[in-house]
Amino acid sequence: MTIGLLLSYDANHQHVVSISIFVAVLCLSVVSGHCFSQSRWTSESAIAILIGCIAGMGILLFSRGKSSHILMFDAELFFTYLLPPIIFNAGFGMKKKQFFHNFITIMLLGGTGVFISTAIIVAGCWWLFPKIGFNGLGIREYLALGAIFSSTDTVCILHVLSQDQTPRLYSLLFGEGVVNDATAVVFFKVFRKINVSKIGGGVAFHVLWDFLWLFLASTAFGVAIGLLTALTLKTFYFGRHSTNREVALLMLMAYLSYVLAELLTLSVILTVFFCGILMSHYAWYNITEHSRVTTRHILSTLSFIAETFIFLYVGMDVFDIEKWKMIDMSVKKIFGLNFILFILVGLGRAAFVFPLCSLSNFISSDAERSMLTLKHQVIIWWAGLTRGAVSIALAYKQFTISGVTWNPLHSTMITSTISIVLFTNLVLGIFTKPLVSLLTHQTQNNNEQQDTFPKEELILPLLSSDKDSTSSSFVLVRRSLSALMETLVHTIHFYWRKFDDACMRPFFGGLAVPVWEPSE
């Protein structure tokens, strides 16, 4: 009995020590990120990864090569506790006007683009892995790799871009990042349910159907929870307000939407994202000014801590000696494997960014303030090369059990995912700020030219300057399509605002409804 108590005490004591060390490293990362936040050559996410690497190396040396871990990463822990505040804060704090103004382009890049990228990565891995001697993965695992490496992380470049100076570019990257992650996770779930023994011509149809069902059902469920929260705050707290209760209800309802979506096997990212959008549009105006300020700061803080936690662990996981020992490949093959994955990520990204951005320019109205020039498209392509927390979590979910694997092939894929995340955040991150500064500066200097010359010159740079019949016909078709899209968008927006002001806001709350004065 005494021995059992002592062992239990030692285990609890070791757990407390591990948590204390990790919190201390987390504090160091916050301070260091603040000190280097204005640096030209790095970002806060890169700083967190570097500090994680240093901490992992220190723990590995202190344990004499036995372990670099103080906490074990668990994909379920990530999806249950760390991801919800990040996605909800993204939806809650988003500028809705810019998001829905660019909704078609965002859905093209974040939805259709992920499908193209996944197909290229899956086909490339299937064809090239055996050529370097990496065999043994099954069909489901190749499909999972496509979803894992199609998930982007645009946090790094969003810290560089100015939301005021480049509102459309910022909105596109922000919206695409969220929709991209949601789409990749939906594909990942669909792929895990595929019966690989019965793959045939109808599989693509079933995958598309499952994807559309999850996408629409998850969005509708998030909207419903957001409206229910707004109605609850407006009905039960009218004339009697409590900051603690209002903030608690907002956050608990947001988390309830997340866990219920998981229970119903929906897309948790889409659900909590649109729940955040609806809460900011209606419920936000049913609480006091004190509650609004408190909610904003709490959500931003939780999101920041969760992101820093993830990047810290990615850095520490580099020195996970157990995973590296499990790999049964030469250094040359490992390098070749990572090189193939990175090239496929870049090709998959380029295969949809430039064509879909050109399509967006083609169907955009002439009255739109700015088009997606080649410089903008390069920034969008570059931003999407970065891989982050969602890729890591999906890789752990596919290739480990509770963060542990004893399969050499699976260990190789985990370490390759970590290597890609490190390379895209640290190496590519060094060039992100100079690249964005160069391209946006040139774009801003060329604003007068964009306003002076016809926008056809920006959209059709490869066409002859002669006004032949083909060019004229093309421009006429584009103008007709642009006019149709502009009319459609304005019509939908007009009737939605009319319905929103007449029916929704008086019932759920909003700017059109007179609200109480904030308490002093």
Reported as a single tens digit per residue, the pLDDT across 401-415 is: 766 677 888 888 988
Q: Is residue 488 part of a domain?
A: no
Angle at 389 between CA 270 and CA 176, to 5 degrees: 45
Q: Is residue 470 part of a domain?
A: no
Mean pLDDT over residues 184-201, rounded? 74
| C-alpha separations of 201 from 116, 196, 324, 435 in Å | 18, 12, 39, 44
- Total domains in the fold of the chain: 1
Among 92-96, 224-228, 453-457, the range scoring the smallest mean pLDDT is 453-457
Per-residue pLDDT of 283-307, as tens digits, reads 888 888 888 889 889 988 998 888 8
Q: Is residue 462 part of a domain?
A: no
Q: What pLDDT is recorded for position 488?
A: 60
pLDDT higher than threshold 70 for residue 65: no
DSSP string for 86-122: HHHHHHHTS-HHHHHHTHHHHHIIIIIHHHHHHHHHH
Among 394-398, 438-442, 513-517, the range scoring the smallest mean pLDDT is 513-517
pLDDT higher than threshold 80 for residue 176: yes
Which residue is it, tokens 């500028």? 95
Is residue 188 within 8 Å of residue 148, measured between CB atoms? yes
Per-residue pLDDT of 108-138, as tens digits, reads 888 889 989 999 999 999 999 998 888 888 8
Q: What's the predicted TM-score (pTM) here?
A: 0.80
Which residue is it, tokens 């039960």? 236
Domain that holds residue 19: 13-441
Q: Is residue 509 part of a domain?
A: no
Q: What pLDDT is recorded for position 252?
A: 93
Q: Is residue 207 part of a domain?
A: yes
**DSSP reduced 3-state for 239:** coil
CATH code where residue 134 lies? 1.20.1530.20
pLDDT higher than threshold 50 for residue 463: no
Q: Is residue 485 part of a domain?
A: no
Burial class (CB in 10 A: 0-12, 13-18, 19+), 499: exposed
Considering the chain, what percentage of its residues have pLDDT values greater than 90? 15
Considering the chain, what percentage of its residues have pLDDT values greater than 70? 74
Show the tokens assigned to 432: 């992100």
410-435 as b/e: b if 16+ CB within 10 A: bbbbbbbbbbbbbbbbbebbeebbeb
Show the tokens assigned to 4: 């059992």
Higher-pLDDT residue of 165 and 377 is: 377
Mean pLDDT for the chain? Answer: 77
Q: Is residue 320 part of a domain?
A: yes
Q: Is residue 406 part of a domain?
A: yes
Give CA–CA dist 105/357, Å, rounded: 7
